Amino acid sequence: MTEQINDFQKDALHYLHMLEGDGVELLGKTAVSTKSTVEEPGDVIDFKSTVMTCKKCPELAMCRNSVVFGDGNMKADLVFVGEAPGAEEDRQGLPFVGKAGQLLTKMIEAIQMRRQDVYICNVIKCRPPNNRTPLPDEIGNCLPYLEKQIKTIQPRIVCALGAVAARALLNTTRSISSMRGHNFEYQGAKLIVTYHPAYLLRNPADKKKAWEDLKRVRSELQS
């Protein structure tokens, strides 16, 4: 058992070492497929069709190329929730596929999981123009979709990536630093708050704090 933990620590430190550099392109060579390994049931497909044609936010509906519903394992124990699609996500129609997505993939692998083991989505499903922060009305319009996604998947852990996601899920205005390190509850799942990968790309010094959060995610999954 001790030997396994040491191996895990060794792997994790290896990832952390890579994450601390700016070699995200290099890391991208090992990117894992984002395709779900579990078939989606009919009611989920109907729900998805509703979301994919949604125009509740007129500005976003007019500017988007894609509605980025979410992607991954519909029976996942772990769901990551980000803020909103970016340019690459809007182009491909998939969440976290740009540089921040490559970093998220490595963060998932650092806790010895594969990207296809988890589910990944955002608080809002359409890209805000120029990547501006989603407006409260937009979050209010889209949040019921996220709530239904979580209710359908019934994960054990929800990991909020960044302040916008954490505040939306917890209906609070607290700072991310005051939410990190605490366990919250969301629809029966434990909710753990960490930094958004895009923030970590801009602030690499905080990757060590994110690693502490990921270790808590891993520990909760093993408990």
Q: Which residues bind ligand SF4 (CB under 6 A)?
A: 51, 54-57, 60-61, 67, 124-126, 138, 141-142
Q: In whole angstroms, give the CA distance from residue 165 to residue 160.
A: 6
Minimum Å distance from CB 57 to ligand SF4?
A: 3
Nearer to ligand SF4, 49 or 203 (CB): 49
Buried-state track 135-154, b at ≥16 Cβ within 10 A, e below 16: eeebbebbeebbeebbeebe
Nearer to ligand SF4, 57 or 108 (CB): 57
Minimum Å distance from CB 130 to ligand SF4?
A: 15
Nearer to ligand SF4, 32 or 45 (CB): 45
Task: Report residue 199 as tokens.
Answer: 């923030």
Minimum Å distance from CB 122 to ligand SF4?
A: 9
Cα angle vertex 207, ends 220, 124, to 5°?
Answer: 70
Q: In whole angstroms, give the CA distance from residue 179 to residue 211.
A: 15
Nearer to ligand SF4, 2 or 53 (CB): 53
Task: Report residue 177 as tokens.
Answer: 């630093």
Minimum Å distance from CB 128 to ligand SF4?
A: 8
